Structure 1
Amino acid sequence: MPARRNFLKSDNVELKHIIDEFQRMALAHPECAMSFFHNDKKIFNLTPSTLKQRIVGIFGNRYNEKLVPVKEETSLVVVNGFVGKPEFSRKTRGEQFFFVNQRFIKSGYLHHAISNAFQDLIPEKHHPSYFLFFEIDPKFIDVNIHPTKTEIKFEDEKSIYAIVRSCVKRALGLHNIVPSLDFEKDPAFDNIPTSNKSELKQPSIKVDSSYNPFEEKKNSENNYTPPQKVKTENWEQLFENIPAPQYNTTSEVLEKSWSEDSEETDKTIFQLNNQYIVSSIKSGLMVIHQQRAHERILYEYYLKMQDKDGPSQQLLFPKTVELTPSDMAIVKTISDELLNMGFRFDYLNKNSIVVLGTPTDVEIEKLESFMEELVEQFKNESSIEKHDNLSRSLAKTMSIKSGRKLNPEEMRSIIDNLFACQIPNTTAQGKPTLINLTLEELAKKF
């Protein structure tokens, strides 16, 4: 019986940890054949191969076109491996691996160097993929700074940072991923095709010796006619029989505007910074966090959908979604719950599913990123019951994000549905969804 049995988390979380460790060992030793089984089902069957073939074997054939080779040799360190193309970056931290002398490490410092190299190439809050191997003299590193040995200390971190950043940036430039300016002459202009029937001739210039510009100017001056004088007699008759305009006094205008605003205040709500919904109540003001409120609404909705089939919108054209083997294993474990939520899909192969239908709120154009984010949220949750975990993950993935502008109908709908929930004050994770600011608290501010 393992000593840490009481500290084990859910089966899905532990499966994720095992698959992560298997992937690290398989990437560090591509020359070795490796297999992985889960519940008597073969998840991986890897044969000896090159590093690129091993990456494709683990993460799917789609990575064959995603990888950009990186190679740099210096007196301090030798760097080689692959980085993902910018257009394949993901919102979630996906395949990011550093290996130092064949040992997997985690380094936020080196991750920042790669992110700096991808600056202006990937959208904000997206993360690139990378598989980088470092060969360095062991005397220049210290591995005894973390119990798991996954963090190390470089003797010259700044130089390593500069080398990683420059070699990744150069690799992207060599493969025409980074736009560059070329001021050299284009050789295509040296040989311009011409027609065989015609010869190039130098244009001739003819000069009119009899032309005299002063003579024309003189003629134009003689033909000048001054403008006619406008008659201004009896101009007052133009404004006769026109009624004088009637103006409201300043006090009347302000009074009318104030009454209209006061009437609207009792009926409307407004959005603050595209993040909060503010509404007036008898005791003061109520401020609602729009994303957390929508998470609570969706969480309770999907909890109710666990025991029955939820509504599903059938796709006119089925969409293929590719997943990593670890993500595919998670999808298989929660397939029944996904069906109850409204998903309809079939398995195409070990790394792909064909989606036939989705819940009504899912955007079809973002289906692949939605599935990746859903699985990532599910894996990152703590040890909780599977139905509850999936409801939380779906609610967090499909909720209205902060920064989105809402119309009055959407704001009212969120408020009404929030107070229809059993626990409207907090999210499933215990974070507050709203606060009340009383009139007494407002008075203390003045």
Structure 2
Amino acid sequence: MPAIRLLPDLLISQIAAGEVVERPASVLKELLENSLDAGSRDIRVQLEAGGVKRLRVADDGCGMPREDLPLALARHATSKIASLDDLEAVATMGFRGEALASIASVARVSITSRETGSAHAWRIDNEGEVEPAALDAGTVVDVADLYYNTPARRKFLRTEQTEYGHCDDVFGRIALSVPQVAFQLMHNGRLMQRLPAGDMASRVRALLGDEFMQHARPVEADAGQIRVSGFAAQPAFSRAGRDAQYCFVNGRFVRDRLLAHALREAYADVLHGARHPAYVVFIELDPRAVDVNVHPAKTEVRFRDSRGVHQFVFHAVERALAPSIVPAMQGASASAASELQSTSFAPPASAWVPRQQGMALEQPLARYFDFVRQDAPAAGGSATSPAALAPAARPDLPAQQADAPPLGFALAQLQGVYVLAQNAAGLVLVDMHAAHERILYEQLKKVLEGEPAVQRLLIPAVLAMSAREVATAFEYADVLEKLGFDIGQAGPNELMVRAVPALLARADTGALLRALLEELREAPASQVVERRRNELLATMACHGAVRANRLLTLPEMNALLRDMEACERADQCNHGRPTWVQLSMAELDRLFMRGR
């Protein structure tokens, strides 16, 4: 076995560079963080060939004195911590004191800096020579020919556009964290981004786009020891990947499993399937309550009270995604929205057709959806029209009804799919299946918290099932009973259903039960109730909700609108689709070019 020996300093730095300097984007991250720690208010980045040929960061920060320049390129030399207490409460972006030394070991580096109040600037490069230089203020770090002395490492770099894309991602993440700082990015002499200093909303809009902000809801929660702020996009803005997920802890971008799980759980009731939510979330807490020294690139953290942080973030985002209908009004003018928020929503007796009397309260579905199935028209005939089902006299609905509810009053049904309503802001379009699905889902969740209301069938339904479905039904009989089903075996491949959940008494029992059995079969037994409960309830709600081509009367449409207003998360169905949209009078006027 070879003898143990000390490694040369240069080799030590090059080994460390493997952890810190993965690609040009890693260099850019370290330099931008140093600029922020220096108190910069204007940072300018220049890249050539994706940052491989050249990467230059100039800032207007406090600068460094002449005697500190050699130490800036030394390993484990830093001005940011001096003791273990400092490390446990570190509040700066960088603190290890090895980034510049690692970068200088694999690239040609020069640093020019002028300390605030100094007569002139000083410059140092890899050779260690310090000489006078010209610079107005701040610091300029110039990194050229990355991996010029380690060609094997350079072979692992990708194309110029790929490397630039990674640099652009890092630039955007850091720019998001400090909207009060101005940023500029140039690539191969071309201006790519210019971000003036401003507020968080304007910075998020500049980097994530207008569409994100149109769907975003503000997140704000403060408990003294911890604060959460930012924006969470509605499920309609969900993505195929995680490209629009930004989470910051004390200004530092992190990829933390605990936080990712909390945020995903906050969307659990409104986003299903393979779609991913979009958000920009900032968590601020005592630096002593979080350990940022668990990863060389400082992208992972560890919380002292991980469960408390998880629950606080989860509830903050969940509340932001579940406001009342009024704040969520899309497209309404500010004056109209303000008017709606300040108005009592009890409609006048002459303007609102009440719910039909005599409906069984123990069956909420029957309460207001006593539907008439639309049959195929006979030859030479026509199907029953919605007008035929509506009351003979419809109340007058003025364009600006001061005491109208948020979603207004129903006008008609379109193609058996959409409900058209009029409110103070203009026209409301409601997807009746999506809206009813959300209402049923929320009602089922509440029912499941206690004893489920059960509807006994006068004549038990006998359903033909496969042997596998029959076996699954009896394996999970206790789960089905908790959901409100009473089943038995009527034959080798037959199930007898004696009772169903009261909320779903009008649903297709066979289709509903088969869908539930498929969900149960795919989930491990230990996870059915806890992890898959919401999926099971979503499946039940989807099968129990009113289908397209069901004709509704005006009282039924109005009852749907009122239940939407009383329902949490009524803006989207269980699959993330919007349930309603608002078209303001101004938007309608523009469509018809009124006033021109």
What TM bracket, shorter-length normalisation? 0.3 to 0.5
User: TM-score of the superposition, structure 1-length normalised?
Assistant: 0.40
User: TM-score of the superposition, structure 2-length normalised?
Assistant: 0.30
* Larger RCO, structures 1/2 (Cα 8 Å, 6+ apart): 1
